[in-house]
Amino acid sequence: MTLYDDLRSMADTEHEKERRYGYCLRVCTAAACVSQHSDSIKKAFDAEVKARGLDEQIQVKGVGCMGLCAAGPLVMIDPVRDNTLGPTLYEKVTVEDVPEIVDALAQKQVVERLERKMDIPFFQRQVRIVLENSGIIDPENVDDYIAADGYQAFSHALTSMSPADVVKEITASGLRGRGGGGYPTGLKWSTVAKASGDVKYVICNADEGDPGAFMDRSVLESDPHRVLEGMCIAAYAIGASKGYVYVRAEYPLAIDRLKTALKQAKRKNLLGHSILNTEFDFDIEIRLGAGAFVCGEETALMASVEGRRGQPRPRPPYPSDHGLWGKPTLVNNVESYANVATILRKGADWFAGIGTEKSKGTKVFALAGQIENTGLIEVPMGVTLREIVYDIGGGTPQGTELKAIQTGGPSGGCIPADLIDLPVDYESLVKAGSFMGSGGMIIIDNTADMVNVAKYFMDFCKSESCGKCIPCRVGTAHMYNLIDKIDRGQATHADLDLLLSLCDLVANTSLCGLGKASPNAILSTLRVFRNEYEAKLLDGHVGAQPEAK
Protein backbone atom coordinates (compact mmCIF):
# COMPACT_ATOMS: atom_id res chain seq x y z
CA MET A 1 0.00 0.00 0.00
CA THR A 2 1.52 3.33 -1.10
CA LEU A 3 1.50 6.57 0.85
CA TYR A 4 -1.02 7.93 -1.64
CA ASP A 5 -3.30 4.98 -0.88
CA ASP A 6 -3.11 5.96 2.79
CA LEU A 7 -3.96 9.57 1.92
CA ARG A 8 -6.85 8.46 -0.28
CA SER A 9 -8.15 6.13 2.41
CA MET A 10 -8.14 8.96 4.97
CA ALA A 11 -9.81 11.32 2.50
CA ASP A 12 -12.45 8.73 1.66
CA THR A 13 -13.09 8.19 5.37
CA GLU A 14 -13.66 11.91 5.83
CA HIS A 15 -15.81 11.97 2.73
CA GLU A 16 -17.84 9.02 3.99
CA LYS A 17 -18.72 11.00 7.10
CA GLU A 18 -20.43 13.48 4.81
CA ARG A 19 -22.66 10.70 3.52
CA ARG A 20 -24.60 10.79 6.76
CA TYR A 21 -26.18 14.08 5.74
CA GLY A 22 -29.47 14.16 3.90
CA TYR A 23 -28.41 17.18 1.82
CA CYS A 24 -25.29 19.15 1.00
CA LEU A 25 -25.90 22.88 0.70
CA ARG A 26 -23.14 24.39 -1.43
CA VAL A 27 -22.58 28.16 -1.33
CA CYS A 28 -20.44 29.75 -4.03
CA THR A 29 -17.55 31.55 -2.38
CA ALA A 30 -15.61 32.56 -5.50
CA ALA A 31 -14.86 36.23 -6.08
CA ALA A 32 -17.93 37.10 -8.16
CA CYS A 33 -20.32 35.82 -5.49
CA VAL A 34 -18.18 37.00 -2.55
CA SER A 35 -18.38 40.50 -4.02
CA GLN A 36 -22.13 40.16 -3.43
CA HIS A 37 -21.61 38.98 0.17
CA SER A 38 -21.89 35.21 -0.33
CA ASP A 39 -19.47 34.77 2.57
CA SER A 40 -22.10 36.34 4.82
CA ILE A 41 -24.72 34.10 3.25
CA LYS A 42 -22.70 31.01 4.13
CA LYS A 43 -22.33 32.19 7.72
CA ALA A 44 -26.06 32.77 7.85
CA PHE A 45 -26.72 29.23 6.60
CA ASP A 46 -24.31 27.82 9.20
CA ALA A 47 -26.11 29.68 11.97
CA GLU A 48 -29.63 28.91 10.69
CA VAL A 49 -28.98 25.20 10.24
CA LYS A 50 -27.46 24.96 13.71
CA ALA A 51 -30.23 26.99 15.35
CA ARG A 52 -32.87 24.68 13.89
CA GLY A 53 -31.00 21.57 15.03
CA LEU A 54 -30.51 20.44 11.43
CA ASP A 55 -26.71 20.29 11.50
CA GLU A 56 -26.87 16.47 11.42
CA GLN A 57 -29.10 16.55 8.36
CA ILE A 58 -27.78 19.44 6.27
CA GLN A 59 -24.13 20.03 5.50
CA VAL A 60 -23.19 23.61 4.57
CA LYS A 61 -20.11 23.82 2.34
CA GLY A 62 -18.32 26.76 0.73
CA VAL A 63 -17.35 25.92 -2.84
CA GLY A 64 -15.80 27.58 -5.85
CA CYS A 65 -17.27 29.13 -8.99
CA MET A 66 -20.43 27.53 -10.40
CA GLY A 67 -20.06 29.48 -13.63
CA LEU A 68 -23.27 31.47 -13.90
CA CYS A 69 -21.85 34.65 -12.39
CA ALA A 70 -24.68 36.83 -13.73
CA ALA A 71 -27.11 35.06 -11.38
CA GLY A 72 -24.98 35.14 -8.23
CA PRO A 73 -24.87 34.70 -5.34
CA LEU A 74 -25.57 31.05 -6.15
CA VAL A 75 -26.54 28.25 -3.77
CA MET A 76 -26.80 24.61 -4.84
CA ILE A 77 -28.64 21.97 -2.83
CA ASP A 78 -27.57 18.42 -3.64
CA PRO A 79 -29.28 15.31 -2.27
CA VAL A 80 -26.92 12.97 -0.42
CA ARG A 81 -29.00 10.29 1.32
CA ASP A 82 -32.39 11.93 0.87
CA ASN A 83 -33.52 11.91 -2.77
CA THR A 84 -36.91 13.48 -2.14
CA LEU A 85 -35.63 16.62 -3.85
CA GLY A 86 -33.35 16.57 -6.85
CA PRO A 87 -30.45 19.02 -7.26
CA THR A 88 -31.75 22.57 -6.81
CA LEU A 89 -29.98 25.77 -7.82
CA TYR A 90 -30.94 29.06 -6.23
CA GLU A 91 -29.91 32.38 -7.78
CA LYS A 92 -29.44 35.91 -6.46
CA VAL A 93 -29.69 34.68 -2.89
CA THR A 94 -29.53 37.19 -0.06
CA VAL A 95 -28.99 36.78 3.68
CA GLU A 96 -32.70 37.49 4.12
CA ASP A 97 -33.55 34.46 1.96
CA VAL A 98 -31.63 32.03 4.18
CA PRO A 99 -34.39 31.16 6.71
CA GLU A 100 -36.90 30.55 3.90
CA ILE A 101 -34.50 28.24 2.05
CA VAL A 102 -33.66 26.23 5.17
CA ASP A 103 -37.33 26.03 6.15
CA ALA A 104 -38.27 24.80 2.66
CA LEU A 105 -35.49 22.22 2.70
CA ALA A 106 -36.57 20.93 6.11
CA GLN A 107 -40.05 20.44 4.62
CA LYS A 108 -38.57 18.94 1.43
CA GLN A 109 -39.87 21.80 -0.68
CA VAL A 110 -38.36 24.28 -3.14
CA VAL A 111 -38.40 28.09 -2.98
CA GLU A 112 -39.67 28.57 -6.52
CA ARG A 113 -39.07 32.33 -6.68
CA LEU A 114 -35.31 31.76 -6.29
CA GLU A 115 -34.95 28.57 -8.32
CA ARG A 116 -32.88 28.57 -11.52
CA LYS A 117 -33.64 25.58 -13.71
CA MET A 118 -30.57 23.50 -14.52
CA ASP A 119 -31.82 21.92 -17.75
CA ILE A 120 -30.71 24.99 -19.71
CA PRO A 121 -28.02 25.13 -22.41
CA PHE A 122 -25.69 27.08 -20.12
CA PHE A 123 -25.15 23.91 -18.10
CA GLN A 124 -26.09 21.21 -20.60
CA ARG A 125 -23.78 22.31 -23.46
CA GLN A 126 -20.59 22.46 -21.45
CA VAL A 127 -17.88 19.79 -21.18
CA ARG A 128 -16.01 20.28 -17.92
CA ILE A 129 -12.42 19.07 -17.57
CA VAL A 130 -10.59 22.02 -16.03
CA LEU A 131 -13.77 23.01 -14.17
CA GLU A 132 -14.89 19.50 -13.21
CA ASN A 133 -14.50 20.20 -9.47
CA SER A 134 -15.45 23.89 -9.51
CA GLY A 135 -18.59 24.53 -7.53
CA ILE A 136 -18.48 21.01 -6.06
CA ILE A 137 -15.47 20.66 -3.75
CA ASP A 138 -14.29 22.89 -0.94
CA PRO A 139 -11.22 24.65 -2.40
CA GLU A 140 -9.69 24.94 1.07
CA ASN A 141 -9.95 21.22 1.88
CA VAL A 142 -7.25 18.98 0.39
CA ASP A 143 -9.17 15.85 1.45
CA ASP A 144 -12.09 16.99 -0.67
CA TYR A 145 -9.75 17.20 -3.64
CA ILE A 146 -8.11 13.84 -2.94
CA ALA A 147 -11.51 12.16 -2.56
CA ALA A 148 -12.31 13.46 -6.06
CA ASP A 149 -9.26 11.59 -7.48
CA GLY A 150 -6.93 14.46 -6.71
CA TYR A 151 -3.18 13.70 -6.78
CA GLN A 152 -3.94 10.21 -8.13
CA ALA A 153 -2.29 11.03 -11.46
CA PHE A 154 0.75 12.51 -9.71
CA SER A 155 1.15 9.40 -7.56
CA HIS A 156 0.79 7.15 -10.60
CA ALA A 157 3.39 9.15 -12.51
CA LEU A 158 5.89 8.95 -9.64
CA THR A 159 5.47 5.22 -9.03
CA SER A 160 4.59 3.75 -12.43
CA MET A 161 5.84 6.09 -15.17
CA SER A 162 9.21 7.41 -16.22
CA PRO A 163 9.56 11.15 -16.90
CA ALA A 164 9.78 10.34 -20.61
CA ASP A 165 6.51 8.39 -20.37
CA VAL A 166 4.77 11.42 -18.90
CA VAL A 167 6.06 13.70 -21.67
CA LYS A 168 4.98 11.15 -24.27
CA GLU A 169 1.45 11.02 -22.84
CA ILE A 170 1.06 14.80 -22.77
CA THR A 171 2.40 14.99 -26.33
CA ALA A 172 -0.02 12.31 -27.56
CA SER A 173 -2.96 14.17 -25.98
CA GLY A 174 -2.47 17.11 -28.34
CA LEU A 175 -2.76 19.61 -25.49
CA ARG A 176 -1.73 23.09 -26.61
CA GLY A 177 -0.81 25.99 -24.35
CA ARG A 178 -3.92 27.73 -23.09
CA GLY A 179 -2.16 31.02 -22.41
CA GLY A 180 -2.85 32.30 -25.90
CA GLY A 181 -0.08 31.12 -28.21
CA GLY A 182 -1.33 27.55 -28.56
CA TYR A 183 2.19 26.07 -28.58
CA PRO A 184 2.14 22.24 -28.26
CA THR A 185 2.55 21.52 -24.54
CA GLY A 186 4.26 18.16 -25.01
CA LEU A 187 6.84 19.69 -27.33
CA LYS A 188 7.60 22.44 -24.82
CA TRP A 189 7.99 19.88 -22.02
CA SER A 190 10.20 17.69 -24.19
CA THR A 191 12.47 20.61 -25.04
CA VAL A 192 13.00 21.55 -21.39
CA ALA A 193 13.44 17.90 -20.39
CA LYS A 194 16.26 17.52 -22.92
CA ALA A 195 17.99 20.75 -21.90
CA SER A 196 21.23 20.27 -20.01
CA GLY A 197 21.55 21.51 -16.46
CA ASP A 198 21.30 20.19 -12.93
CA VAL A 199 18.77 22.87 -11.93
CA LYS A 200 15.47 23.42 -13.73
CA TYR A 201 12.37 25.42 -12.88
CA VAL A 202 8.63 25.19 -13.44
CA ILE A 203 6.57 28.39 -13.53
CA CYS A 204 2.81 28.81 -13.55
CA ASN A 205 1.86 32.02 -15.31
CA ALA A 206 -1.20 33.28 -13.43
CA ASP A 207 -0.65 36.92 -14.42
CA GLU A 208 -4.06 37.27 -16.04
CA GLY A 209 -4.33 40.84 -17.24
CA ASP A 210 -6.77 40.91 -20.18
CA PRO A 211 -9.80 43.18 -19.58
CA GLY A 212 -12.86 41.02 -19.02
CA ALA A 213 -10.85 37.85 -18.34
CA PHE A 214 -11.20 35.89 -15.10
CA MET A 215 -10.54 32.24 -16.08
CA ASP A 216 -7.27 31.72 -14.20
CA ARG A 217 -8.49 33.58 -11.14
CA SER A 218 -11.59 31.40 -10.92
CA VAL A 219 -9.65 28.15 -11.30
CA LEU A 220 -7.21 29.15 -8.55
CA GLU A 221 -10.08 30.19 -6.28
CA SER A 222 -12.12 27.06 -6.96
CA ASP A 223 -9.62 24.21 -7.39
CA PRO A 224 -6.06 25.31 -6.47
CA HIS A 225 -4.75 21.76 -5.87
CA ARG A 226 -5.58 20.90 -9.47
CA VAL A 227 -3.05 23.48 -10.66
CA LEU A 228 -0.44 22.41 -8.09
CA GLU A 229 -0.81 18.78 -9.15
CA GLY A 230 -0.27 19.73 -12.79
CA MET A 231 2.88 21.63 -11.83
CA CYS A 232 4.15 18.65 -9.81
CA ILE A 233 3.64 16.30 -12.76
CA ALA A 234 5.39 18.76 -15.08
CA ALA A 235 8.32 19.07 -12.65
CA TYR A 236 8.72 15.29 -12.52
CA ALA A 237 8.57 15.08 -16.32
CA ILE A 238 11.29 17.68 -16.95
CA GLY A 239 13.47 17.09 -13.88
CA ALA A 240 12.73 20.30 -11.97
CA SER A 241 13.01 20.70 -8.22
CA LYS A 242 11.54 24.17 -7.78
CA GLY A 243 8.37 25.86 -8.98
CA TYR A 244 6.79 29.31 -8.81
CA VAL A 245 3.23 30.49 -9.22
CA TYR A 246 3.36 34.04 -10.53
CA VAL A 247 0.01 35.60 -9.68
CA ARG A 248 -1.07 39.21 -9.67
CA ALA A 249 -1.58 40.79 -6.26
CA GLU A 250 -5.05 41.99 -7.30
CA TYR A 251 -6.29 38.40 -6.74
CA PRO A 252 -6.31 38.26 -2.91
CA LEU A 253 -8.82 35.39 -2.65
CA ALA A 254 -6.91 33.26 -5.15
CA ILE A 255 -3.67 34.00 -3.31
CA ASP A 256 -5.13 33.05 0.07
CA ARG A 257 -6.43 29.76 -1.27
CA LEU A 258 -3.14 29.03 -3.01
CA LYS A 259 -1.30 29.60 0.25
CA THR A 260 -3.69 27.27 2.06
CA ALA A 261 -3.30 24.63 -0.66
CA LEU A 262 0.50 24.79 -0.48
CA LYS A 263 0.47 24.31 3.29
CA GLN A 264 -1.90 21.37 3.00
CA ALA A 265 0.12 19.74 0.21
CA LYS A 266 3.30 20.00 2.26
CA ARG A 267 1.61 18.47 5.30
CA LYS A 268 0.47 15.55 3.16
CA ASN A 269 3.99 15.07 1.73
CA LEU A 270 2.72 16.01 -1.73
CA LEU A 271 5.36 18.76 -1.85
CA GLY A 272 8.84 18.96 -0.34
CA HIS A 273 11.43 16.22 0.10
CA SER A 274 10.94 12.54 -0.78
CA ILE A 275 7.41 13.16 -2.02
CA LEU A 276 5.11 10.18 -1.36
CA ASN A 277 8.14 8.22 -0.12
CA THR A 278 9.93 8.47 -3.49
CA GLU A 279 13.22 10.10 -4.42
CA PHE A 280 11.46 13.06 -6.04
CA ASP A 281 11.89 16.49 -4.40
CA PHE A 282 9.85 19.49 -5.49
CA ASP A 283 8.59 22.64 -3.83
CA ILE A 284 6.48 25.60 -4.96
CA GLU A 285 6.50 29.25 -3.93
CA ILE A 286 4.19 32.14 -4.77
CA ARG A 287 5.46 35.31 -6.39
CA LEU A 288 3.14 38.32 -6.51
CA GLY A 289 3.01 40.55 -9.56
CA ALA A 290 2.25 44.24 -9.27
CA GLY A 291 -0.29 44.19 -12.09
CA ALA A 292 1.91 44.95 -15.10
CA PHE A 293 0.21 43.48 -18.19
CA VAL A 294 3.59 42.99 -19.87
CA CYS A 295 4.55 40.45 -17.18
CA GLY A 296 2.24 38.00 -18.88
CA GLU A 297 5.07 37.70 -21.41
CA GLU A 298 7.31 34.90 -20.15
CA THR A 299 10.68 36.67 -20.24
CA ALA A 300 9.24 39.74 -18.47
CA LEU A 301 7.57 37.42 -15.96
CA MET A 302 10.88 35.69 -15.18
CA ALA A 303 12.62 39.03 -14.73
CA SER A 304 9.95 39.96 -12.20
CA VAL A 305 10.32 36.63 -10.35
CA GLU A 306 14.05 37.34 -10.10
CA GLY A 307 13.28 40.69 -8.47
CA ARG A 308 14.11 42.80 -11.49
CA ARG A 309 11.91 45.18 -13.45
CA GLY A 310 9.40 43.20 -15.50
CA GLN A 311 10.56 43.86 -19.04
CA PRO A 312 10.83 41.40 -21.94
CA ARG A 313 14.13 40.50 -23.57
CA PRO A 314 14.87 39.36 -27.12
CA ARG A 315 14.63 35.64 -27.89
CA PRO A 316 16.64 33.47 -28.47
CA PRO A 317 17.83 32.33 -26.03
CA TYR A 318 14.51 30.76 -25.10
CA PRO A 319 13.44 29.97 -21.53
CA SER A 320 13.75 26.24 -22.30
CA ASP A 321 17.54 26.74 -22.43
CA HIS A 322 18.15 30.00 -20.58
CA GLY A 323 15.26 30.94 -18.34
CA LEU A 324 14.92 31.76 -14.67
CA TRP A 325 18.38 32.66 -13.28
CA GLY A 326 19.83 31.37 -16.52
CA LYS A 327 18.50 27.83 -16.01
CA PRO A 328 16.15 25.76 -18.21
CA THR A 329 12.62 26.80 -17.34
CA LEU A 330 9.14 25.58 -18.23
CA VAL A 331 6.41 28.23 -18.33
CA ASN A 332 2.75 27.27 -18.76
CA ASN A 333 -0.42 29.04 -17.69
CA VAL A 334 -3.02 28.00 -15.12
CA GLU A 335 -5.41 26.30 -17.54
CA SER A 336 -2.62 24.30 -19.20
CA TYR A 337 -1.55 22.80 -15.87
CA ALA A 338 -5.17 22.24 -14.87
CA ASN A 339 -5.62 19.81 -17.79
CA VAL A 340 -2.60 17.66 -16.98
CA ALA A 341 -3.85 15.42 -14.16
CA THR A 342 -7.04 14.50 -16.02
CA ILE A 343 -5.06 13.60 -19.14
CA LEU A 344 -2.93 11.16 -17.15
CA ARG A 345 -5.97 9.73 -15.33
CA LYS A 346 -8.17 9.24 -18.39
CA GLY A 347 -5.53 8.85 -21.08
CA ALA A 348 -4.20 10.83 -24.01
CA ASP A 349 -6.59 9.18 -26.47
CA TRP A 350 -9.59 10.24 -24.41
CA PHE A 351 -8.45 13.87 -24.37
CA ALA A 352 -7.50 13.84 -28.05
CA GLY A 353 -11.00 12.60 -28.88
CA ILE A 354 -12.45 15.93 -27.74
CA GLY A 355 -12.24 19.01 -29.94
CA THR A 356 -10.94 19.26 -33.50
CA GLU A 357 -8.07 17.73 -35.44
CA LYS A 358 -5.59 20.46 -34.54
CA SER A 359 -7.24 21.91 -31.42
CA LYS A 360 -7.76 19.15 -28.87
CA GLY A 361 -9.71 19.19 -25.64
CA THR A 362 -11.79 21.99 -24.19
CA LYS A 363 -11.34 25.71 -23.62
CA VAL A 364 -12.43 27.81 -20.67
CA PHE A 365 -13.90 31.19 -21.57
CA ALA A 366 -14.95 34.18 -19.50
CA LEU A 367 -18.12 35.56 -21.07
CA ALA A 368 -18.41 39.29 -20.50
CA GLY A 369 -19.95 42.36 -22.07
CA GLN A 370 -23.45 42.63 -23.53
CA ILE A 371 -24.67 39.09 -22.91
CA GLU A 372 -27.32 37.68 -20.61
CA ASN A 373 -25.30 34.88 -18.99
CA THR A 374 -22.01 36.47 -18.04
CA GLY A 375 -19.76 33.96 -16.35
CA LEU A 376 -17.31 31.12 -16.74
CA ILE A 377 -17.84 28.32 -19.26
CA GLU A 378 -15.88 25.35 -20.61
CA VAL A 379 -16.67 24.03 -24.07
CA PRO A 380 -15.09 21.60 -26.56
CA MET A 381 -12.77 23.15 -29.12
CA GLY A 382 -14.63 23.59 -32.39
CA VAL A 383 -17.94 24.76 -30.90
CA THR A 384 -19.31 27.69 -32.89
CA LEU A 385 -19.57 31.27 -31.74
CA ARG A 386 -23.33 30.98 -32.28
CA GLU A 387 -23.56 28.16 -29.73
CA ILE A 388 -21.53 30.13 -27.20
CA VAL A 389 -23.33 33.45 -27.64
CA TYR A 390 -26.92 32.34 -28.13
CA ASP A 391 -27.25 28.88 -26.60
CA ILE A 392 -24.87 29.02 -23.65
CA GLY A 393 -24.68 32.79 -23.25
CA GLY A 394 -28.39 33.46 -23.71
CA GLY A 395 -27.83 36.13 -26.37
CA THR A 396 -27.54 39.89 -26.10
CA PRO A 397 -29.81 41.95 -23.82
CA GLN A 398 -33.40 42.30 -24.98
CA GLY A 399 -33.83 44.94 -27.65
CA THR A 400 -30.25 44.81 -28.95
CA GLU A 401 -28.49 42.80 -31.64
CA LEU A 402 -25.05 41.23 -31.77
CA LYS A 403 -22.46 43.43 -33.47
CA ALA A 404 -19.11 41.80 -32.76
CA ILE A 405 -17.25 39.39 -30.52
CA GLN A 406 -13.87 40.40 -29.14
CA THR A 407 -11.46 37.56 -28.36
CA GLY A 408 -7.83 37.46 -27.35
CA GLY A 409 -7.86 40.43 -25.01
CA PRO A 410 -6.42 43.82 -26.02
CA SER A 411 -4.05 42.03 -28.37
CA GLY A 412 -6.88 40.17 -30.10
CA GLY A 413 -9.46 41.32 -32.56
CA CYS A 414 -13.17 41.93 -33.10
CA ILE A 415 -15.02 39.27 -35.04
CA PRO A 416 -18.13 40.64 -36.81
CA ALA A 417 -21.58 39.18 -36.20
CA ASP A 418 -21.81 37.76 -39.73
CA LEU A 419 -19.12 35.23 -38.74
CA ILE A 420 -21.29 33.89 -35.95
CA ASP A 421 -21.01 30.31 -37.25
CA LEU A 422 -17.22 30.37 -37.02
CA PRO A 423 -15.83 27.37 -35.09
CA VAL A 424 -13.82 28.38 -32.04
CA ASP A 425 -10.37 26.86 -32.45
CA TYR A 426 -6.87 28.22 -32.83
CA GLU A 427 -6.72 28.21 -36.63
CA SER A 428 -10.24 29.52 -37.32
CA LEU A 429 -9.90 32.52 -35.04
CA VAL A 430 -6.59 33.52 -36.62
CA LYS A 431 -8.14 33.33 -40.10
CA ALA A 432 -10.91 35.63 -38.87
CA GLY A 433 -8.36 38.25 -37.80
CA SER A 434 -8.26 37.46 -34.09
CA PHE A 435 -6.89 34.65 -31.93
CA MET A 436 -7.77 32.49 -28.96
CA GLY A 437 -5.83 34.32 -26.31
CA SER A 438 -6.19 33.11 -22.76
CA GLY A 439 -9.98 32.94 -22.97
CA GLY A 440 -11.58 36.34 -22.55
CA MET A 441 -14.63 36.74 -24.78
CA ILE A 442 -16.38 40.13 -24.79
CA ILE A 443 -19.77 40.34 -26.49
CA ILE A 444 -20.49 43.66 -28.20
CA ASP A 445 -24.02 44.67 -29.22
CA ASN A 446 -25.27 47.23 -31.72
CA THR A 447 -25.29 50.03 -29.15
CA ALA A 448 -21.47 50.10 -29.18
CA ASP A 449 -19.31 52.59 -31.05
CA MET A 450 -16.50 50.51 -32.56
CA VAL A 451 -14.11 53.44 -32.79
CA ASN A 452 -14.58 53.90 -29.08
CA VAL A 453 -14.06 50.17 -28.50
CA ALA A 454 -10.74 50.29 -30.36
CA LYS A 455 -9.79 53.46 -28.49
CA TYR A 456 -10.39 51.72 -25.14
CA PHE A 457 -8.06 48.84 -26.00
CA MET A 458 -5.48 51.20 -27.47
CA ASP A 459 -5.51 53.20 -24.24
CA PHE A 460 -4.93 49.95 -22.33
CA CYS A 461 -1.95 48.96 -24.51
CA LYS A 462 -0.46 52.45 -24.24
CA SER A 463 -0.74 52.43 -20.46
CA GLU A 464 0.67 48.91 -20.13
CA SER A 465 3.69 49.37 -22.40
CA CYS A 466 6.82 48.70 -20.35
CA GLY A 467 8.67 51.39 -22.28
CA LYS A 468 11.72 49.29 -23.13
CA CYS A 469 11.44 49.56 -26.91
CA ILE A 470 10.73 52.79 -28.78
CA PRO A 471 8.19 51.40 -31.29
CA CYS A 472 5.85 50.31 -28.50
CA ARG A 473 6.54 53.12 -26.04
CA VAL A 474 6.16 55.92 -28.56
CA GLY A 475 4.05 54.18 -31.19
CA THR A 476 1.19 53.16 -28.91
CA ALA A 477 0.98 56.71 -27.56
CA HIS A 478 0.80 58.17 -31.06
CA MET A 479 -1.78 55.57 -32.16
CA TYR A 480 -3.93 56.41 -29.16
CA ASN A 481 -3.67 60.16 -29.87
CA LEU A 482 -4.71 59.61 -33.48
CA ILE A 483 -7.70 57.40 -32.70
CA ASP A 484 -8.74 59.84 -29.97
CA LYS A 485 -8.56 62.62 -32.56
CA ILE A 486 -10.77 60.56 -34.88
CA ASP A 487 -13.21 59.79 -32.06
CA ARG A 488 -13.52 63.51 -31.28
CA GLY A 489 -14.33 64.29 -34.92
CA GLN A 490 -11.18 66.38 -35.47
CA ALA A 491 -9.24 64.07 -37.84
CA THR A 492 -8.94 63.77 -41.61
CA HIS A 493 -8.17 60.94 -44.03
CA ALA A 494 -4.52 61.91 -43.76
CA ASP A 495 -4.68 61.13 -40.05
CA LEU A 496 -6.33 57.77 -40.80
CA ASP A 497 -3.59 56.95 -43.30
CA LEU A 498 -0.96 57.89 -40.71
CA LEU A 499 -2.69 55.67 -38.15
CA LEU A 500 -2.52 52.70 -40.53
CA SER A 501 1.18 53.35 -41.19
CA LEU A 502 1.86 53.48 -37.47
CA CYS A 503 -0.01 50.20 -36.95
CA ASP A 504 2.22 48.54 -39.52
CA LEU A 505 5.39 50.03 -38.02
CA VAL A 506 4.59 49.09 -34.41
CA ALA A 507 3.46 45.57 -35.34
CA ASN A 508 6.67 44.83 -37.22
CA THR A 509 9.30 46.49 -35.05
CA SER A 510 8.20 46.06 -31.42
CA LEU A 511 10.24 43.83 -29.13
CA CYS A 512 7.52 41.65 -27.61
CA GLY A 513 3.99 40.45 -28.17
CA LEU A 514 2.36 43.39 -26.41
CA GLY A 515 3.69 45.88 -28.93
CA LYS A 516 3.40 43.59 -31.94
CA ALA A 517 -0.27 42.90 -31.23
CA SER A 518 -1.27 46.35 -29.95
CA PRO A 519 -2.59 47.53 -33.37
CA ASN A 520 -4.97 44.56 -33.65
CA ALA A 521 -7.95 46.30 -32.05
CA ILE A 522 -7.67 49.14 -34.55
CA LEU A 523 -7.00 46.95 -37.58
CA SER A 524 -9.75 44.45 -36.87
CA THR A 525 -12.39 47.15 -36.34
CA LEU A 526 -11.24 49.07 -39.40
CA ARG A 527 -11.55 45.95 -41.56
CA VAL A 528 -15.25 45.55 -40.85
CA PHE A 529 -16.46 48.84 -39.39
CA ARG A 530 -14.53 51.33 -41.51
CA ASN A 531 -17.72 53.30 -42.10
CA GLU A 532 -17.79 54.23 -38.40
CA TYR A 533 -14.29 55.67 -38.69
CA GLU A 534 -15.15 57.46 -41.94
CA ALA A 535 -18.26 59.01 -40.42
CA LYS A 536 -16.14 60.78 -37.78
CA LEU A 537 -13.60 62.29 -40.19
CA LEU A 538 -13.77 65.98 -41.04
CA ASP A 539 -13.55 65.22 -44.77
CA GLY A 540 -16.03 62.34 -44.62
CA HIS A 541 -16.04 59.69 -47.36
CA VAL A 542 -13.72 61.57 -49.73
CA GLY A 543 -11.96 59.36 -52.25
CA ALA A 544 -11.09 55.69 -52.17
CA GLN A 545 -8.95 54.95 -49.15
CA PRO A 546 -6.65 51.98 -48.48
CA GLU A 547 -8.14 49.11 -46.49
CA ALA A 548 -6.69 48.02 -43.18
CA LYS A 549 -4.28 45.15 -43.53
Residue 262's pLDDT is 98
Domain segments of the chain as ranges:
17-119, 150-352, 364-440, 450-534
Question: In angstroms, rounded to a whole number, what is the distance separating the alpha carbons of residues 499 and 486?
Answer: 10
Kindly state the average pLDDT of the residues 478-504: 95
- CA-to-CA separations, 436 to 29, 318, 364, 512, in angstroms, rounded: 28, 23, 11, 18
CB neighbour list of residue 16: distance below 8 Å, 6 or more residues apart: none
Contacts 24+ apart (CB under 8 A), 95-104: 95/37, 95/40, 95/41, 95/44, 98/41, 98/44, 98/45, 98/48, 99/48, 101/45, 101/75, 101/77, 102/45, 102/48, 102/49, 102/52, 102/54, 102/58
Q: Does domain 150-352 have CATH number 3.40.50.11540?
A: yes
User: For residue 23, what is the enclosing H or E element?
Assistant: strand 23-28
Q: Same CATH fold, 364-440 and 150-352? A: no
Residue type, 375: G
Give me the amino acid identity at 392: I
Q: Collapse the DSSP code of 16 into the 3-class scheme (helix H, G, I; strand E, B; otherwise coil) and give the result.
A: helix
Q: pLDDT tens for residues 180-238?
A: 788 999 999 999 999 998 999 999 999 988 888 899 999 999 999 999 999 999 999 99
pLDDT in tens, 29-43: 999 999 999 999 999
Write down the architecture of domain 450-534 according to CATH: Up-down Bundle (1.20)
The CATH number that domain 17-119 falls under is: 3.40.30.10
Q: Which CATH code is given to the segment(s) 364-440? A: 3.10.20.600
Round the average pLDDT of the chain to a whole number and report it: 94
The mean-pLDDT minimum among 7-21, 369-383, 417-431, 476-490 falls in: 7-21
For residue 384, give the DSSP letter: B
Look at residue 48 and tell me whether its pLDDT is greater than 90. yes
